[in-house]
Amino acid sequence: MLNLDQYSCLGAALQDALDRWPNETCLIEADREKEKTRLTYSDFQEVALPLARALQDASFAPGDRAAIIMTNQSKWLISAYAVFYTGGVLVPLDYKLTPEEHLQLLAHSKAKVLIVEYHLWRAILQSLGGKAHGVQTVLVTEAPLRAELGSAFRWEEFRRKGDPHFVTRKREDVACIVYSSGTGGRPKGCVLTHDNYLEQCKSLAERFAFWPGVRYLSILPTNHAIDFMVGFIGPFMCGACVVHLRTLRPEFVRDAFMRYRITYVALVPMILKNLERGLRAKFDELNFAKRFILNRMIGLNKLITRKQPNVKLSRKLLGQVHAAFGGELLAVFTGGAFMEPATLEFFYQLGIPVANGYGLTEAGTSLTLNDFKPFRADTVGTPLAGVELRILKPDSEGIGEVAAKSRTVMSHYLDDPELSARTIVDGWLLTGDLGRFDAHGHLQLFGRKKNMIVTEGGKNIYPEDIETAFEGMAAKEYCIFAADYIWPAKSLGNEKLVLALRMEQNQEFTEALKEEIIARNRKLPDFKRVGGYIVWQKDFPRTASMKIKRNVLAEEMGKTLERGSVVDL
């Protein structure tokens, strides 16, 4: 890995990486069974530099902002490098947002350049209806030859000959403006510096090393904080390779693991949970003899790896399971939402360690990460190097708001000094998350401060904590609300908890499921028990990192259903 202490900006570090490993493969892009692109570090540089020169010729100056709206692909990383090379500021936007939301964030960020996929640009043009978009230069990727692009340029043709001028930046200069995945209404642009990213990369590499030959499968959107670091900056600083898929259909994801012998992958909890369901279903299809042998091997692996993982040994014991993941997978990274401990245990017992971490956009990528020394499924690990954490105003159980201080914490919110001052106090980032440290220094999370419910008896209840009691239930998705949160009441007390469920397609809510909910509910303390349930007929709204947008869901339910729709338990 490069010694990141000697660099003042991401552009300089990336430039050295391209020179240091010219013949190593840095990018592979595949679409279904077809491989579309394979680039060495030298190839990558040859494609990126003419783009950087063209940007400079188009008056893109140091400190100017360039937004990217694209799915995972090689052009995303090439464009980002060209922006950093010219001293620009990157604005990664979520391609899943609506055209109206894209336009709002483009205006808020004051982006001078927009690099966008054709189908997304077409949607933006339709939304504009002939109005000006305010961006000076628009580059559109993969546009059909006769497509109407307005005043935009084709990305593939936006090139200039001659060497671009490399622009160095200082550590305290802005590298990216990142909007949280749940952005809605008032934009919250997190201003992150080159120092934030270089320090984050260094601390993560100390916990999990990459090297030439490592292949990271990029499934999360590159604009997501996790994949931007672990699927771009981190691998490039170590001479590793990133594999992009243009489809996320399960059969092609499975094929990619085996075809490219994937070493690492990052998954949001929802995808990891779906993967667990698929594996359990395959295990259930085994005949008695094969299932007996599998269970014995899992039990033996659990015994041998109780203190720390031994992936090489696990591959020998559970060869067929590991072969399905390509046979070289070392770890899975997850974060961004609450992760059920039972799911982490399931994969660990198969010899596939899942490194559960905790972070937020305002803190770069990650504040804590499980290092498996030992493996703790009920925590999000210990603080990374250089990270200080405090628990503010802990209650009788030691639970309070998590505050963080680190060089990875953002500079401020863009053009919002009041919110910045409320969020970063005396150098401490107030996360809004509730947690406590266990006896071994591992951080345990209990939910969002704003979601906390105080009962009539003064007890604190965390919906995310209660939801673990219903883990594995035969439903597509579910979450816990206070009834007064969905239907605001004018009086306090007599708080009722409601379980909202979304069933799988063509799946009915059965009496057996109701009895299961009642049985699980009885195991909870009285003050944590659910008082009723609602079966919701639509998929829950989610952020890019697949966290449930609780406020949006509650608002939809409140407008659609009456309080009397809750079925008592």
Would you say domain 10-256 falls under CATH 3.40.140.10?
no
**458: pLDDT strictly greater than 70:** no
Work out whether the CA dihedral 436, 439, 442, 446 comes out positive or negative: negative
According to the model, what pLDDT value does residue 336 have?
A: 67
Helix pair angle (269-284, 341-349), 10° resolution: 50
Laid out side by side, the sheet with 25-31 consists of 34-40, 25-31, 241-245, 215-218, 264-267, 331-334, 354-358, 368-369, 382-383
According to the model, what pLDDT value does residue 185 have?
A: 55
C-beta separation of 433 from 389 below 8 A: no
Task: State the chain's mean pLDDT as an integer.
Answer: 92
pLDDT grade, residue 526 (50/70/90)? confident
C-beta separation of 187 from 211 below 8 A: no
**409: pLDDT strictly greater than 70:** yes
**338: pLDDT strictly greater than 80:** no
Q: How many CB atoms lie within 10 A of CB 526?
A: 9
pLDDT tens digit string along 292-316? 999 999 999 999 999 899 999 999 9
Find the helix or strand (DSSP H, E) in which 466 lies. helix 463-467
**74: pLDDT strictly greater than 90:** yes
Backbone angles phi, psi at 355, to 5 degrees: -85, 100
pLDDT > 90 fraction of the chain, expressed in percent and rounded: 74
Give dist(CA 68, CA 121) in Å, integer: 11
138: nearest Cα among 186, 73, 69, 80: 69
**Every domain of the chain and the residues it spans:** 10-256, 452-568
Give dist(CA 511, CA 280) in Å, integer: 24
According to the model, what pLDDT value does residue 132 have?
A: 86
DSSP assignment of 362-397 equals: GGSS-SEE---TT--TTS--EEPTT-EEEEES--TT
- pTM flag (> 0.75): yes
**196: pLDDT strictly greater than 90:** yes
pLDDT > 70 fraction of the chain, expressed in percent and rounded: 96
Give dist(CA 146, CA 118) in Å, integer: 12
C-beta separation of 518 from 569 below 8 A: yes
Q: How many CB atoms lie within 10 A of CB 124?
A: 22
According to the model, what pLDDT value does residue 491 have?
A: 45
- Residue 66, SS3 per DSSP: strand
Which residue bears the tokens 């009895």?
Answer: 515
Over 89-151, what HEC string results? EEEECCCCCCHHHHHHHHHHHCCCEEEEEHHHHHHHHHHHCCCCCCCCEEEEECCCCCCCCCC
pLDDT tens digit string along 241-278? 999 998 878 888 889 999 999 999 998 888 888 889 88
According to the model, what pLDDT value does residue 492 have?
A: 43
pLDDT tens digit string along 215-245? 999 988 999 899 999 999 999 999 999 999 9
190: nearest Cα among 225, 219, 216, 148: 225
- Residue 64, SS3 per DSSP: coil
- We find that the CATH architecture of domain 452-568 is 2-Layer Sandwich (3.30)
pLDDT grade, residue 456 (50/70/90)? low
